[in-house]
Copies of this chain bind each other. A is one copy, B any other.
């Protein structure tokens, strides 16, 4: 097939098409053009510091997941606080992270396209790069790509531990795949990926605990099977914002791949933890700043942020500082607010802060994150991997 090279796909096509930033550094927050994605830096800084302190105290590495932020400015702050690098989900994210100064990137995904593997091996000339496999085909494709470029790719076996998505069966099948990696030219066997994205979101702590216990059994069985093949897992990766304390306590995982903790969202806030919210010390730092554009009846108002600035598959956004008010509808460019008993008066032109229900796909809708400290715009970060799903 006459597929084009990476170079041919760039060059003449690469034109400016990002949106202009919604503010300037130094602006007061009420000068921010809306709808805009804002980060409260006090909450954001505290979230990064708290997770870093947890890793240090637990004696476990952090490799935060860039799928949450797609933004090197965020990744660099996580690394400055001690993280070993970043996880990414796509080659485009990997390219953006390396271009932004991240030296160690793990693609926590199955990459089976020769074009994508060629981009990954190009990155391996500039950074430490690894990826997952769950099939012999995956091993063969990665090995061939790395050999063609003359680089070595780190490679981990993804095991299926309850999510029912990607991943080979733990134990002997996983160890055999590990052996295949170790024997393949230009690949280095690094270890295991044991991640369950579903269990992050179980509402009850007891259910999350049971899921991690089952996962730990699968990891133990696989580590033993690797030993029989003469292999040692240097890295065992996994965990997320909903379960990271449990994986750390299990004493098997070597890296926590937490993502959402930097921003938090409405869905995570709804989970139950020890005596309350899942992680009360992690604060909501991510908001969509919108403006009331219509208020044509006493019981309703409309804000100018909708489905194109907030993902809604996890539900409608929340509101801050508006007791008695609720978002009851969301469409392309509007959030419909029902004003109940005791809701504060609203006026056309008034700003409103919306709390996204799911942070990862919400950030991906924006070219810029406006980082505010109190009421002042302190920084403006480009989301350089926005749209980078290839």
Contact of A307 among B10, B115, B361, B382 (CB under 8 A): B361
Contact of A134 among B112, B294, B308, B330 (CB under 8 A): B294
Contact bitstring A296-315, B, C-beta under 8 A = 1, else 0:
11001010111111011100
Task: Evaluate contact between A113 and B387: CB separation under 8 angstroms.
Answer: no
CA distance A8 to B386 in the complex (A): 23
Contacts A296-B134, A333-B89: A16 and B19 contacting too (C-beta < 8 A)? no
CB nearest to A390 among chain B residues: B33
Task: Evaluate contact between A169 and B349: CB separation under 8 angstroms.
Answer: no
CA distance A48 to B330 in the complex (A): 28
Nearest 10 CB-CB pairings of A with B: A17-B18, A312-B313, A166-B294, A110-B293, A307-B361, A3-B31, A9-B20, A89-B333, A313-B313, A110-B294
CA distance A33 to B35 in the complex (A): 32
Chain B residues in 8 Å Cβ range of A164: 297, 300, 329, 336
Task: Evaluate contact between B333 and A135: CB separation under 8 angstroms.
Answer: no
Chain B residues in 8 Å Cβ range of A90: 333
A to B CB contacts below 8 Å, 28 in the list: A2-B28, A4-B23, A4-B31, A9-B24, A15-B382, A17-B18, A17-B367, A17-B386, A19-B390, A36-B390, A67-B332, A67-B333, A109-B333, A110-B294, A110-B304, A113-B349, A135-B296, A138-B348, A160-B296, A165-B300, A165-B302, A166-B293, A166-B302, A307-B313, A308-B387, A332-B361, A365-B365, A367-B387
Is A178 engaged at the interface, CB distance under 8 Å to the other chain?
no
Interface residues of A (CB under 8 A from B): 1-4, 8-10, 13-24, 27-28, 30-31, 33-36, 67, 89-90, 92, 109-113, 115-116, 134-135, 137-138, 160, 164-169, 197, 291, 293-297, 300, 302, 304-309, 311-313, 329-334, 336, 348-349, 358, 360-361, 364-367, 382, 384, 386-390
CA distance A167 to B137 in the complex (A): 57
CA distance A208 to B238 in the complex (A): 49
Chain B residues in 8 Å Cβ range of A67: 332-333
Task: Tell me how far the C-beta of A296 lies from the nearest C-beta in chain B, rounded to whole angstroms.
Answer: 5
A contact patch SS: loop
CB nearest to A259 among chain B residues: B332
CB nearest to A90 among chain B residues: B333
Contacts A4-B31, A33-B115: A387 and B18 contacting too (C-beta < 8 A)? yes
Task: Evaluate contact between A31 and B134: CB separation under 8 angstroms.
Answer: no
Task: Evaluate contact between A296 and B167: CB separation under 8 angstroms.
Answer: yes
Chain B residues in 8 Å Cβ range of A2: 27-28, 31
CB nearest to A314 among chain B residues: B313
Task: Evaluate contact between B8 and A24: CB separation under 8 angstroms.
Answer: yes
Contacts A111-B293, A296-B169, A307-B311: A197 and B14 contacting too (C-beta < 8 A)? no
Task: Tell me how far the C-beta of A141 lies from the nearest C-beta in chain B, rounded to whole angstroms.
Answer: 8
Task: Evaluate contact between B332 and A360: CB separation under 8 angstroms.
Answer: yes
Task: Evaluate contact between A24 and B4: CB separation under 8 angstroms.
Answer: yes
Chain B residues in 8 Å Cβ range of A111: 293
Chain B residues in 8 Å Cβ range of A1: 28, 30-31
Task: Tell me how far the C-beta of A388 lies from the nearest C-beta in chain B, rounded to whole angstroms.
Answer: 6
Task: Evaluate contact between A389 and B305: CB separation under 8 angstroms.
Answer: yes
Known: A33-B115, A109-B293, A166-B296. 20 other contacts (CB 8 A): A3-B31, A10-B20, A15-B16, A15-B18, A16-B17, A17-B384, A19-B390, A22-B390, A33-B390, A34-B113, A35-B389, A35-B390, A110-B293, A113-B349, A134-B294, A160-B297, A168-B296, A308-B364, A367-B387, A386-B387
